[in-house]
A and B are shown apart, each in its own frame.
Chain A
Amino acid sequence: MKLQGISGARGIGAGTVYVYTQEEICIDRTPIEEAAVAEELHKLDDAMQTTIDQLTEVKAKAAATMGDAEAAIFEAHIMIAQDPSLLTSIRQAVESEHKSAAEATEGVIESFAAMFSAMDDPYMRERGADIRDIGDRLLRNILGMTPRGLAHLSGQIILVADDLTPSDTASLDATVVQGIVTASGGPTSHAAIMARTLAIPAVMGVGDSSALRTGEQAVVNGTDGIVLTELSDDEFARYQEEGARYRRVLQTMKESANLPAKTKDGHDVLLFGNIGKADDAAKARELGAEGIGLFRTEFLYMERDELPNEEVQYEAYKACAEAMDGRPVIIRTMDIGGDKELKCLALPKEMNPFLGYRAIRICLSEPDMFKTQLKALLRAGVHGQVHIMYPMISSLDEVRRANALLQEAKDELAAAGVAFNGDTPVGIMVETPAAAMIADILAKEVDFFSIGTNDLCQYTLAVDRMNERIGQLYEPLHPAVLRLIKQVIDASHKEGKLTGMCGEMAGDPMATMILLGLGLDEFSMSATAIPMIKAVLRSVTVDECRHMAAKALTLGSAKEIAAYVTRIMTEKGIEL
């Protein structure tokens, strides 16, 4: 069975479900006698002191296990508990309305929490949960109940709760809790923030979590926001292994994050990030990207009634170039086809959209639209190292026509007196077998290549990888694909030009050694894969990789190649 929620923290975790429920708080709502007021106030003061003592202890514990940022939450909780307006309001309700300390606390906490919940800012809305957390603690102390907490858990646990408060998670042991599922809350909830801090895979807001029962096995896929149950033992074991691998990789990532992408024999390798929005550039930098190898510009065309104008595009490209602070940024011109519905560009539905009217083919027949994008790119080149890349090239003629339009764009900008970078490098995606086969000819016309392995693989192997019945035929390590890659790299090097790769294969650690051995100059991938690929690079030498690539090219099938790679990596002690 599958529950869908929102990704709270990435990664896979497998374990036994523990549904976290609380002993319910029961409040006696009988008005108190005048004579009992003093006693109730005394009870309140004691409980408040206990609450502050507990919070101080919890804060110290959080500082030790989760760091100062987490501890700061409890500092705020202590401040709230000591807040004069809180205590005064509760005391007033006891004195003048003759409510019990518990009932008065409940009412005052709820009115403050409601104020927060009504606020516009999602962060502040979530803070209502902090107030309720303090109120809950205070109430339990007034009523002499045990405080909340998760310190008693052991084994490999998938923690399921309606939501988790800082009090709950302060005592949480990250080696025990393999995954977190909450029924309510989103990516800014306390539970999600804490899960990311502790790198525990988490899925938030699944709605009804009653299907998850204590004692059953479950898998949390925090990356996709999915919870799986009712798995066979084999499936469960597989996810457990995947979870364990994820944690090892995280460890490796932590260790390699600030180290250079250099092989054991001192050869520098360019590791770049693939991004879909300018905002993602900063995150890619944090994960170690030394450049952007693929900036997809499709987002500019999505959910928009009109085509994006030059200014809108210029701002986006400029933002990305500036975020990368002088490092290379390869921006791909519009790559859209009939498989996507666009409001701003009516594309007819096609039988075979991947063999149809798409990408550069559209751009060349809509020269005004294309030139608008090219102008924005040329102008953004003033603010950083912008590179232009044409997708879906299958002939020399297309490159020449695109370059002719680029020249027109330059001429028009020059005539208008607008600043632009006339030396902006221009490259192509090599993603059709046709482009790969004539790479030697194309290399003379462009400044660089970037191999798009997703499409190259799909076109070379004639496999639609979305088709479940033949999905297993989609093999990036297929000898046909590897040979084409070698041909492309060799052709570019002959002209003194570089070849990068921006398909998923570039971020697949199984392919890293072979690609390096084939001479690939730049690897561009989803930024989260960078630390892992870096870890592989740092444990090999270029000579070993060359030897390995040469051997792999003599093997007859993807399976044999994969087995060979696995054997070498195991020998070298490289964990994936």
Chain B
Amino acid sequence: MCTMIQEHVTITNESGLHARPATLFTQLAAKFQSKITLANGAKQADAKSILTVLTLGATKGTELVVTVDGADEAEAMAAVKEFLTTHKD
């Protein structure tokens, strides 16, 4: 069976996904088995790769499409969403 979940999440952090928050974010994503993908328009990022996350250029107010696929996708989505909407740095 092949499922995956997808949600739209808006960044609330004042400085967006800059180096520091992006570091923490990728560390968080790496804890999950699922493949986690972020998309900002046409730009796509692997949530476990800080380089691709940074190149999204996500600033405050950017709406990202988060796609999670894998065994722990529900927990992963919840954690990722919480970080993107509540982290302050």
A119/B51 in contact, CB under 8 A: no
Flag whether B20 is at the interface (Cβ < 8 A): yes
Chain A residue numbers with a CB within 8 Å of B51 are: 80, 83, 85-86, 112, 131
Chain B residue numbers with a CB within 8 Å of A72 are: 19-20, 23
Task: Annotate B26-48 by CB proximity to A: 1 below 8 A, 0 otherwise.
Answer: 11000000000000000000101
Among B2-10, B53-61, B63-71, B72-80, the stretch in contact with A = B53-61
Determine the main DSSP class of A at the interface with B: helix
A79/B50 in contact, CB under 8 A: yes
Flag whether A475 is at the interface (Cβ < 8 A): no
In the complex, residue of chain A having the shortest beta-carbon distance to the beta carbon of B51: A83
Flag whether A75 is at the interface (Cβ < 8 A): yes
Minimum C-beta distance from B47 to chain A (A): 11
Chain A residue numbers with a CB within 8 Å of B57 are: 119-121, 124
Minimum C-beta distance from B36 to chain A (A): 13
Flag whether B81 is at the interface (Cβ < 8 A): no
Flag whether A231 is at the interface (Cβ < 8 A): no
Task: Annotate B9-23 by CB proximity to A: 1 below 8 A, 0 otherwise.
Answer: 000000110111011
- B contact residues, range: 10 to 19
Flag whether A73 is at the interface (Cβ < 8 A): yes
B26/A85 in contact, CB under 8 A: no
Minimum C-beta distance from A76 to chain B (A): 4
B55/A84 in contact, CB under 8 A: no
Flag whether A370 is at the interface (Cβ < 8 A): no
A86 to B26, alpha carbons, bound, how many Å?
14
Q: Contacting A116 at CB < 8 Å: which of B26, B48, B49, B55? A: B55
In the complex, residue of chain B having the shortest beta-carbon distance to the beta carbon of A125: B57
In the complex, residue of chain B having the shortest beta-carbon distance to the beta carbon of A126: B19
Q: How many residues on the A side are at the interface (Cβ–Cβ under 8 A)?
A: 21
Minimum C-beta distance from B65 to chain A (A): 19
A38 to B50, alpha carbons, bound, how many Å?
27
Among A73, A85, A131, max chain B CB count under 10 A is at A85
Flag whether A361 is at the interface (Cβ < 8 A): no
In the complex, residue of chain B having the shortest beta-carbon distance to the beta carbon of A73: B19
A9 to B37, alpha carbons, bound, how many Å?
40
A120 to B16, alpha carbons, bound, how many Å?
13
B23/A75 in contact, CB under 8 A: yes
Among B20, B51, B55, max chain A CB count under 10 A is at B51
Known: A112-B55, A127-B54. A79 touches B46 (CB 8 A): no
Flag whether A115 is at the interface (Cβ < 8 A): yes
Chain B residue numbers with a CB within 8 Å of A455 are: none
Chain B residue numbers with a CB within 8 Å of A299 are: none
Minimum C-beta distance from A126 to chain B (A): 10
Chain A residue numbers with a CB within 8 Å of B52 are: 85
B19/A130 in contact, CB under 8 A: yes
B49/A83 in contact, CB under 8 A: yes
A85 to B55, alpha carbons, bound, how many Å?
12
- Of the A-B pairs whose beta carbons lie under 8 Å apart in the complex, a sample of 24, sorted by A's number, is A72-B20, A75-B23, A76-B19, A76-B22, A76-B23, A79-B26, A80-B51, A83-B49, A83-B50, A83-B51, A84-B46, A84-B48, A85-B46, A85-B49, A112-B55, A116-B54, A116-B55, A119-B55, A119-B57, A121-B57, A121-B59, A124-B54, A124-B57, A127-B54
Interface on B for A, CB 8 Å cutoff? 15-16, 18-20, 22-23, 26-27, 46, 48-52, 54-55, 57, 59
Cβ-closest 5 pairs across A and B: A85-B49, A76-B19, A79-B50, A115-B55, A76-B23
Question: A83-B49, A123-B15 known; 20 other A-B pairs, CB under 8 Å?
Answer: A72-B23, A73-B19, A76-B20, A76-B23, A76-B50, A79-B27, A80-B50, A80-B51, A83-B26, A83-B50, A83-B51, A84-B48, A84-B49, A85-B51, A85-B52, A112-B55, A119-B57, A121-B57, A124-B18, A127-B54
